[in-house]
DNA sequence: GAGTGGTCTAGACCACTCG
DNA sequence: GAGTGGTCTAGACCACTCG
């Protein structure tokens, strides 16, 4: 870990396995988080940073590209770059796992299994998972809560190979993704589809909210590192209790608006 | 525009204003889209690409970083990089501008101004735009439609300096962002907050839908290239007609789940 | 014109994967 | 051990912004 001394001290080299550019990026992020640089402040110039960190310009630029990508800084050519604020990202694992997300908030995750059974894939499910119609799949239906408050209904479909790994797990208490991770299965990439739906009578009863309340629906396709489907899920969150935030960098975004 | 000849031809240089690394990235993207490289195929090695494009390794790496960032390719150190497929992104301009999005679908954008007036910023608005409470701001309230079907209610606040640029524009027909762009103002980065709300009676009347229908609400903070606030908007989409899709790459994501 | 960030090159060494 | 991508440096020139 290298700090940013006012004058160049012992030139840092890769003693640990952490790349220099990442050490620089982390140092700058820490300083933004600590208020050394405040939103609106200009970032020190490249030349300054080269001097302070005792690394080459390329390394500084690589570090800064990371800060740009996560939205910590902004700006354009010719002008000094501007600090925007603390980075605004979440690990995919935490995004996918309700359990680890709730824990990260310091709350107690809970759940109740409504149903869990093997069956045959219908047309939609088969298409979503990239399987032939009629393939064996597992359907899991749960209500998830934080500190006892129901927040989410999960309706998830797993391919047979994934579902069997969960067959003897207590899904009322355990995180599906932690259990899968122990068995070597992780969600490496995912596609999310967000829209709003009225709570059906079943939804309303499960969440303890009025009929027809607005729910934020998140449909997720999860894939492992090899691109094989791990899950297809229809998650319904209480719209009044949860939101999703998206940081859009310059240029192209990962967010797409679609007509249904 | 440079292609990728099997053998190095005339070494391309920056004749136009487009950076070389971007020309290379665009060329590779086109080849992925055209099926020259198919999902699962390995990408040619760095050495290959250096030869084919006649540029330095640094330029190739910069181009590949862009493909990585938009999800076109994946892979890790020591292995050949793997083509994942056509990128799944939307230019920020199209994401922000309802008008240009609707046009991209081949439909006719329309609109109706409900109100447009100058006023003083309350506490929330001031905080959102980073202005002192009581600062002059402009509030725009519109219904937006595609081929005559109302899809969206926009409630947008602009800082005084932006609002005055719009004072004499026909906002029933014109795109705010196109008009602003002509005056040198563009949204370079944005933060989006997505949740679900019940349609208020006013919402329902404006969209011509039943009271209490689920709406997908998108709150947006837009900033220019210098990080200055351009707009703060509360957009409400018909949940049954629209959704947002998010492509999550490996590792950290720009998508964050939050408790309200 | 001075200072800033953006582009590009050439070359070195390292870490990882694979046959 | 050969080949791959990852890191890092040093130096050149360019485009843009600002006083």
pLDDT tens column, A180-199: 888 878 787 777 888 999 99
How far apart are the C-alpha atoms of A74 and A82, rounded to whole Å? 5
Torsion angle, CA of B99/B102/B108/B113, rounded to 10 degrees? -40
Residue B189 DSSP SS3: strand
The arithmetic mean of pLDDT across residues B32-48, rounded, is 88
Residue B124 has what pLDDT? 85
By the 8 A CB rule, do B149 and B140 touch?
no
Tell me whether A85 touches chain B (CB under 8 Å). Answer: no
How far apart are the C-alpha atoms of A161 and A138, rounded to whole Å? 9
* Across A197-211, B85-99, B130-144, least confident range: B85-99
Alpha-carbon separation of residue A68 from A29, A40, A43, A244 (angstroms) = 11, 14, 12, 21
Alpha-carbon separation of residue B164 from A160, B45, B117 (angstroms) = 60, 53, 10
Confidence of residue B3 (pLDDT cuts 50, 70, 90): very low
Reported residue count of chain B is: 260
Instruction: Measure B41 CA to C13 C1' (Å).
Output: 29
The arithmetic mean of pLDDT across residues B35-57, rounded, is 91
Closest-CA distance, A259 to chain B, in angstroms, reads: 5
The answer to whether the CB atoms of A257 and B95 lie below 8 A apart is yes
Strand partners, A1: none
User: How far is CA B116 from its chain centroid?
Assistant: 25
By the 8 A CB rule, do A137 and A165 touch?
no
For residue B47, say whether its CB is under 7 Å from any atom of strand D. Answer: yes
Residue B33 has what pLDDT? 81
Of A189, A190, A252, the CB nearest to B91: A252
Kindly tell me if the per-residue pLDDT of B13 is higher than 70: no
How far apart are the C-alpha atoms of B63 and B80, rounded to whole Å? 16
* pLDDT tens sequence across A33-43: 888 988 778 99
Closest-CA distance, B102 to chain A, in angstroms, reads: 10
Strand D nucleotides below 7 A of a protein CB? 3-12, 15-18
Report the greatest alpha carbon distance in chain A. Answer: 68
Query: Searching chain B, which residue's CA lies closest to the CA of residue A197?
Result: B214
For residue B15, say whether its CB is under 7 Å from any atom of strand D. Answer: no
Q: Which residues of A touch B247 (CB under 8 A)?
A: 189, 191, 254, 256
Q: What is the mean pLDDT of chain B?
A: 83
The answer to whether the CB atoms of B256 and A246 lie below 8 A apart is yes
Q: Which residues of A touch B251 (CB under 8 A)?
A: 91-92
The answer to whether the CB atoms of B92 and A196 lie below 8 A apart is no
Q: Which residue has the higher pLDDT, B75 or B50?
A: B50
Instruction: Measure B98 CA to D6 C1' (Å).
Output: 41
Element at B129 (helix H, strand E): helix B123-129
Query: Searching chain A, which residue's CA lies closest to the CA of residue B70?
Result: A254
The answer to whether the CB atoms of B92 and A242 lie below 8 A apart is no
Whole-prediction pTM value? 0.72
* pLDDT tens sequence across A54-99: 999 999 999 998 888 777 887 778 889 988 776 555 666 667 788 8
Residue B196 DSSP SS3: strand
Tell me whether B194 touches chain A (CB under 8 Å). Answer: yes
Reported residue count of chain A is: 260
Q: Which residue has the higher pLDDT, A145 or A193?
A: A145
* Residue the block writes with tokens 């590192």: A225
Residue B137 has what pLDDT? 94
What does B18-36 look like in DSSP terms, one character per residue?
S-HHHHHHHHHHHHHHTTS
Instruction: Measure A128 CA to D12 C1' (Å).
Output: 52
Tell me whether A254 touches chain B (CB under 8 Å). Answer: yes
Element at B235 (helix H, strand E): strand B229-238
The arithmetic mean of pLDDT across residues B212-223, rounded, is 90
The arithmetic mean of pLDDT across residues A228-246, rounded, is 88
Domains of chain B in start order, with CATH, are: 20-83 (1.10.10.10), 92-238 (3.40.1410.10)
How far apart are the C-alpha atoms of A147 and A145, rounded to whole Å? 6
**Helices marked H in chain A — which ranges?**
20-33, 46-53, 57-69, 92-96, 98-104, 123-129, 160-166, 176-182, 201-207
Element at A257 (helix H, strand E): strand A255-259
Q: What is the mean pLDDT of chain A?
A: 83
Q: How would you label A156-169 residue by residue, b for 16+ Cβ within 10 Å and e otherwise?
A: bbbbeebbebbeeb
Tell me whether B204 touches chain A (CB under 8 Å). Answer: no
Confidence of residue B149 (pLDDT cuts 50, 70, 90): very high
How far apart are the C-alpha atoms of B207 and B237, rounded to whole Å? 9
Q: Which DSSP symbol is given to B81? A: P
* pLDDT tens sequence across A1-14: 444 443 334 445 55
Alpha-carbon separation of residue A116 from A109, A156, A166, A219 (angstroms) = 19, 9, 10, 19
Instruction: Measure B5 CA to D13 C1' (Å).
Output: 27
Helix, strand, coil percentages, rounded to 5, for chain B:
30, 35, 40
């Amino acid at each position: 870990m290298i700090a940013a001394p006012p004058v160049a001290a012992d030139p840092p080299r890769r003693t640990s396995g952490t790349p220099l550019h990442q050490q620089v990026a982390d140092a700058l992020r820490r300083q933004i988080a600590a208020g050394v640089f405040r939103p609106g402040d200009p970032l020190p110039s490249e030349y300054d940073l080269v001097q302070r960190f005792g690394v080459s310009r390329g390394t500084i630029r690589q570090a800064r590209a990371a800060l740009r990508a996560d939205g910590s800084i902004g700006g354009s050519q010719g002008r000094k770059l501007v600090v925007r604020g603390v980075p605004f990202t979440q690990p995919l694992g935490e995004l996918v796992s309700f359990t680890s997300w709730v824990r990260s908030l310091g709350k107690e995750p809970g759940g109740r299994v409504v149903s869990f059974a093997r069956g045959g894939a219908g047309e939609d499910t088969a298409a979503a998972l990239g399987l032939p119609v009629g393939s064996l799949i597992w359907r899991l239906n749960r209500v998830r809560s934080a500190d006892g408050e129901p927040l989410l209904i999960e309706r998830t479909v797993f391919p047979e190979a994934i579902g069997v790994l969960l067959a003897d797990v207590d899904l009322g208490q355990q995180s599906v993704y932690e259990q899968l991770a122990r068995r070597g299965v992780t969600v490496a990439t995912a596609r999310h589809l967000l829209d709003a739906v009225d709570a059906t009578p079943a939804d309303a009863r499960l969440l303890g909210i009025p009929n027809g309340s607005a729910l934020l629906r998140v449909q997720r396709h999860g894939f492992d590192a090899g691109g094989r489907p791990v899950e297809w899920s229809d998650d319904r969150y209480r719209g009044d209790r949860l939101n999703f935030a998206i940081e859009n960098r310059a240029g192209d975004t990962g967010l797409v608006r679609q007509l249904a």
